């Protein structure tokens, strides 16, 4: 029963985290004058607008079920939200940036919102831990878990490999004479990411995320009276 409850907490945390991530992309695109995200109802924190039936629901549930018998395999099944579509056009942009730079800002907004969400939840954690009682106090640790999840999602999405946000960020940073690197990553990025995931090598890329998230949550616990 406890395992089922943990699974429900994980699924809810993932949906919330994906929601704020995709909202970040949509909100920044909207602020730069792109009308498409708002017309598709994506500039909202309503989770329904950002849920992908396969990536947000089916695969995380499948990963949870598999992890009961084989945690190593279950942990390799990732989730995602419905991608935010953009229609960047110099004529519609409210600020004078290149399309390349706009893609960078929009891509960075997703991980940025996960970090912001983690900061907001840190305040919630401290309030629950310091002033909560009974069931309210019991909510503090699940909140800490969601904080760690969002820090992890931010780091994961910053890996410079398409289709992750880090791939678009890298493309915006690299000079144009290195476009052949971006072209290669766009062509083989999904296969590279899949190989990292299935071989378990991805965990080495996530070491900084685990270090930062554990350090931060331990610091929050240290601030509890």
pLDDT tens, position by position, 64-88: 777 666 555 555 557 789 999 998 8
Average pLDDT, the chain: 86
Cα(116)–Cα(105) distance, integer angstroms: 15
Distance CA 14, CA 36 (A): 25
First to last CA, the chain: 32
Q: Give the pLDDT confidence of 86-114 residue by residue, as tens digits.
A: 988 766 666 678 888 899 999 999 999 99
The most confident of the ranges 14-18, 139-143, 221-225 is 14-18
């Amino acid at each position: 029963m406890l395992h089922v409850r943990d699974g429900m907490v994980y699924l809810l945390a993932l949906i919330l985290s994906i929601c704020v991530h995709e909202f970040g992309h949509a909100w920044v695109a909207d602020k730069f004058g792109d009308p498409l995200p708002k017309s598709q109802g994506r500039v909202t924190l309503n989770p329904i607008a950002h849920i992908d039936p396969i990536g947000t629901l089916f695969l995380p549930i499948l990963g949870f079920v598999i992890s009961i018998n084989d945690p190593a395999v279950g942990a390799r099944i990732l989730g995602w939200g419905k991608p935010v579509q953009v229609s960047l056009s110099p004529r519609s942009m409210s600020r004078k940036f290149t399309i390349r730079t706009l893609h960078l800002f929009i891509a960075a907004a997703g991980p940025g919102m996960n970090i912001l969400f983690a900061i907001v939840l840190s305040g919630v954690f401290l309030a629950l831990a310091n002033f909560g009682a009974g069931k309210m106090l019991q909510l503090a640790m699940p909140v800490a878990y969601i904080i760690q999840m969002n820090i992890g999602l931010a780091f994961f999405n910053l890996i410079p490999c398409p289709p992750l946000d880090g791939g678009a960020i890298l493309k915006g940073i690299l000079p144009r004479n290195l476009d052949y690197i971006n072209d290669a990553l766009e062509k083989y990025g999904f296969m590279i990411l899949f190989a990292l995931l299935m071989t378990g090598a991805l965990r080495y890329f996530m070491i900084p995320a685990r270090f930062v998230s554990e350090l931060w949550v331990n610091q929050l616990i240290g601030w509890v009276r």
